[in-house]
């Protein structure tokens, strides 16, 4: 399964990327995330770092940073303790400049496997409630319209 969301954010790339790359600060801009911290003692920008956070429903989620590329403005992570019953989850957030306007194009996508007979059950939730909602929160955060 593959899910995808994107958004053009009316803020410069450096500001948007700074918020995204702070792997331990998802709670700053995603409305569904209540808190967050790196739990394994590694720096937040170190490949292998594990962030833990709670969702609004109290669920604990842990994610491991797989790649962080400041040149490509891209980070990739996977579940350690998943929010959903999915396997082989890998997600990437990438930002790129919109050169004509000075805005930033951000895309967030993931691939994963769902249990047999449940195909598609979590794709809409992840695409809309996690990715699209997160990008909306990111826009509010970097443009000063904090929640």
Over the stretch 30-48, which tens digit does the pLDDT of each residue have? 999 999 999 989 999 999 9
Q: How far apart are CA 124 and CA 8, in angstroms?
A: 20
Phi, psi values for residue 15, rounded to 5°:
-70, -45
What's the topology of domain 2-142?
Alpha-D-Glucose-1,6-Bisphosphate; Chain A, domain 4 (3.30.530)
The answer to whether residue 147 scores a pLDDT higher than 60 is no
The answer to whether residue 20 scores a pLDDT higher than 90 is yes
Strands 87-98 and 74-81: antiparallel
Say what the pTM is. 0.94
């Amino acid at each position: 399964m593959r899910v995808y969301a994107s958004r053009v954010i009316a803020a410069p790339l450096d500001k948007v990327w700074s918020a995204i790359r702070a792997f331990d600060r998802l709670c700053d801009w995603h409305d569904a995330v209540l808190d967050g911290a790196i739990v394994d003692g590694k720096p937040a920008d170190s490949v292998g770092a594990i962030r833990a956070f709670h969702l609004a429903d109290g669920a604990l989620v842990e994610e491991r940073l797989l790649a962080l590329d400041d040149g490509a403005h891209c980070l990739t992570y996977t579940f350690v303790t998943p929010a959903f019953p999915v396997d082989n989850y890998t997600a990437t957030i990438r930002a790129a400049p919109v050169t004509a306007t000075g805005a930033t194009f951000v895309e967030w996508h993931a691939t994963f496997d769902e249990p047999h007979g449940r195909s598609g059950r979590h794709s809409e939730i992840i695409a809309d409630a996690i990715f699209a909602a997160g990008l909306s929160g990111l826009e509010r955060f970097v443009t000063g319209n904090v929640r």
